[in-house]
Every structure is written in C-alpha cells, then in structure tokens.
Amino acid sequence: MSRAFNFSAGPATLPESVLRQAQAQMLEFGDAGASIVELSHRGPEFIGVAQQTEADLRSLLSIPDDYAVLFTAGGATTTQALLPLNFANPGQTVDYVVTGHWGKTALKQARAGVVVNIAASGEADGYRAIPARGGWSLSKDAAYVHITANETIHGVEFRDIPETGDVPLFADFSSSIASEPLDISKFGVIYAGAQKNLGPVGIGVVIVRRDLLAREGQPRADIFDYRKQLEAESMLNTPPSWNWYMLGLTVKWMLDEGGVTEFAIRNARKAAALYDVIDNSGGYFRNEVTAEVRSRMNVPFFLHDEALDKEFLAGAKAAGLIGLKGHRALGGMRASIYNAMPEAGVQALADFMRAFQSGHG
Ligand code: PMP
C-alpha cells in the first residue's frame, strides 16, 4: 500500500493516525461487542462519543459558553438553506457578501421567504479580491450579514473579521475552520461541512450564539429547526454516527498536535511555500488572487500553457501527488492544503512544480 499526498478540496485527506484508529475500532468499539456504527445512537457508547466530541471541539476552537454547537447532516449547502428559515422573519432582508462560488451558492439557497440583498460582490472582478468593507451596502434591519470566510474554489480568504455593528455576522467556514485561532464572539453563526478540516463528509457543525435561537424565523418542520435540534442534542433523528465519531477522532488529533495555534504556523508555512514557487516561476505558474487575501487553504494556480495541464496532472500522480485538478468552474490546478496535509506533502508538490518547469521550459 502506498498512500499518495492528496490535495483534493473535499472530501480531503485525513490524518493517517485517524484512519488507523478508525480501522482498529471498525469491528469493535472498546469492549462493546460491535462497531460504533452498529450501536444505537441512544446508547452509552455513542452518547460518550458525541459528548467527548463536543467538549474537544469547544476546547479546540475556544467556543464561548454562550454559543451552542449543533452537529448536522446534509452538508454545508443544507445549512445555507436553513439559515434564513431559522434566523430571518418572513420577508426580512438578509445581506450577502459574495466573494466566490460558495458565497453565490449560499445566497441561492437563502432566497425562499426572505429578501436577499447582495451587499457586495467580487464577481465583476473574477473574485480575485474581497470588496473593501467601506463599499458594502448593508441593510439597516438585516437579519444577518453572510460571508464566506474562505472560498474553496477561488482561493480567496478574509484575513480579518469585518465589522457589521448590531447585525450579526454569519460565516461559512467550511474550508478554513480550525486553521488558525479565531474570536468566535465576533460572529452570530459559524458553520462548516466537516469534509475539509474536521473529518469526513456527511456531517457538519453549526456554532450559534444562543440568543439568536430565540428568533422566530419562518414556518418550518421540526427537523429544520435549530432550536429543536439543540434541545434534542442534534439527535432529533438518527445522526450520521460514523461520521460524528470520525470527526471526534480528527478533532482529538488536532488537539494532540498542538491545536489551532500550531496549525496556524504550519498552514502559513505551507501556503508560503506554494505561493513562493508560483510567484518565482517567471509567469510559468500563475495565481491571480490579490496577495493580501490569498487563501492559506486552497491554492488555485494555472500553467502558462493549458495544453500542459494533462501532462502536469499525470506527472504529479506518478510522483504520488493526487487531487490537483482545479474545479470545473475555474479550470487549471488547485492544491488544497488543509490541516491534515503534512508539510512534507507541500514540499513534494513544490519540488515537483519546480522540476516540471525546468523539464518543460
Ligand atoms: N461552502 C464551502 C466554502 C465549500 O467549500 C463547500 C463544499 N466544497 C460548500 C459550502 C458545500 O458543502 P457541501 O457539499 O457539504 O454541501
């Protein structure tokens, strides 16, 4: 068996130790006589996993007590659809700042029942920059302002938290949660699908300031009601228990590695190593994002001649580097370098890129 360095955007690489632990516990969890995925979610084993996972996540992200944590099925897209249902009154305005593909998805999901105001958009500019806060047209009575903290496809990342006054800031952190320390108290809601920095696909987290759960929202079924989900400890119905367990292992791994402070250092080094190769390639490789808002998690880049793309990808694969093909919306290449991507993987990619350039001048 040889595991490649996997630069896929999500589902993404997981720490080998997490996979091995899951493998070791696949047939029997502790002395339960069965796998965790075969046991009742109401039983002591799974309740233990769920509670430990929340405690570890709270510790990893320094989540204040006045914030609730929900574990959700349905991916980040479903969360995007549920935000206006839970936090906006019928007909109320919600503000969206669109800095890439996923911000656009978020606002498309939000439309039902509310008025969506695009407060700012980087679309005209090809999403290469983040519109300056001073130019945003925010609505006075908006239910919330939504941003995408890191745009997974366009490789654009907020490097500071925008001020939104009394209107709570909601942020999609799917591709950058736990990548560096974050002041959660500056947000109303933070949400993320797990399949990049937190573990496997099939589960997500929603971190919500508790007072916001008192909002009436819009008529909705219980299963879509975050207040009811919280009362039921995210188990109104059978939760994705295996994914929850894997998320728990991944969070524990991050704590053991030194937590978000350590990952911030590693992630800055990894991103710098790749941008360095790109910027010093004399135009052979190109990343078009404004330097100050370049993503530390997803590095999209283009070869100077796209006719070489296939050869680049094949060569990379032969060198044990997979998942580098860019998203179809953008083309080119993309290296996703989440917490679980070791620095050795990034170094191997940087070396491969330099060698490719000198071999194909
Ligand atoms: N938001 C962001 C920033 C993403 O990267 C993605 C998925 N790549 C999504 C939302 C959608 O997530 P899901 O597929 O889990 O619904």
Query: Which three-class secondary structure string do you get for the chain?
Result: CCCCEECCCCCCCCCHHHHHHHHHCCCCCCCCCCCHHHCCCCCHHHHHHHHHHHHHHHHHHCCCCCEEEEEECCHHHHHHHHHHHHHCCCCCEEEEEECCHHHHHHHHHHCCCCEEEEEEECHHHCCCCCCCHHHCCCCCCCCCEEEECEECCCCEECCCCCCCCCCCEEEECCCCCCCCCCCHHHCCEEEEECCCCCCCCCCEEEEEEHHHHHCCCCCCCHHHCHHHHHHCCCCCCCCCHHHHHHHHHHHHHHHHCCHHHHHHHHHHHHHHHHHHHHHCCCCCEECCCCHHHECCCEEEEEECCHHHHHHHHHHHHHCCEECCECCCCCCCEEEECCCCCCHHHHHHHHHHHHHHHHHHC
**For the chain, where do the domains classified as CATH 3.40.640.10 start and end?**
17-256
| Rounded Cα–Cα distance for residues 189 and 72 (Å) | 14
Contact 10 CB / ligand 1 (< 6 Å): yes
pLDDT at position 305 is 96
pLDDT at position 297 is 98
Contact 102 CB / ligand 1 (< 6 Å): yes
Contact 77 CB / ligand 1 (< 6 Å): yes
CATH number of 258-359: 3.90.1150.10
Assess whether 242 carries a catalytic annotation. no
Contact 225 CB / ligand 1 (< 6 Å): no
By most ligand atoms within 8 Å of CB, the mutation choice from 146, 174, 298, 327 for ligand 1 is 174
Q: Which of 56, 95, 102, 253 is catalytic?
A: 102
Q: Which atom of ligand 1 is nearest to the CA of 75?
A: 15
Distance 318 CA to ligand 1 centre (A): 29
Report pLDDT digits (tens) over 64-122.
999 999 999 999 999 999 999 999 999 999 999 999 999 999 999 998 889 999 999 99
The neighbour count for residue 313, using CB atoms within 10 Å, is 17
| Rounded Cα–Cα distance for residues 106 and 148 (Å) | 9
Contact 148 CB / ligand 1 (< 6 Å): yes
Assess whether 136 carries a catalytic annotation. no
Contact yes or no for 180/161 (Cβ under 8 A): no
pLDDT at position 213 is 98
Distance 76 CA to ligand 1 centre (A): 5
| Rounded Cα–Cα distance for residues 38 and 299 (Å) | 39
Contact yes or no for 227/213 (Cβ under 8 A): yes
Contact 52 CB / ligand 1 (< 6 Å): no
Residue in this structure with the two tokens 């320094």, named with its chain if needed: 62
CATH class in words for 17-256: alpha beta
Q: Which atom of ligand 1 is nearest to the CA of 193?
A: 15
Assess whether 244 carries a catalytic annotation. no
Distance 51 CA to ligand 1 centre (A): 25
Q: Is residue 292 packed enough to be buried (19+ CB in 10 Å), middle (13-18) or exposed (0-12)? A: exposed
By most ligand atoms within 8 Å of CB, the mutation choice from 79, 170, 175 for ligand 1 is 175
Contact 109 CB / ligand 1 (< 6 Å): no
Distance 103 CA to ligand 1 centre (A): 10
**For the chain, where do the domains classified as CATH 3.90.1150.10 start and end?**
258-359
- Fill in the amino acid letter for 273: A
Distance 174 CA to ligand 1 centre (A): 6
Contact 157 CB / ligand 1 (< 6 Å): no
pLDDT at position 112 is 86
Q: Which of 104, 196, 252, 270 is catalytic?
A: 196
Report pLDDT digits (tens) over 244-262.
999 999 999 999 999 999 9
Low-confidence ranges of the chain (pLDDT < 50): none
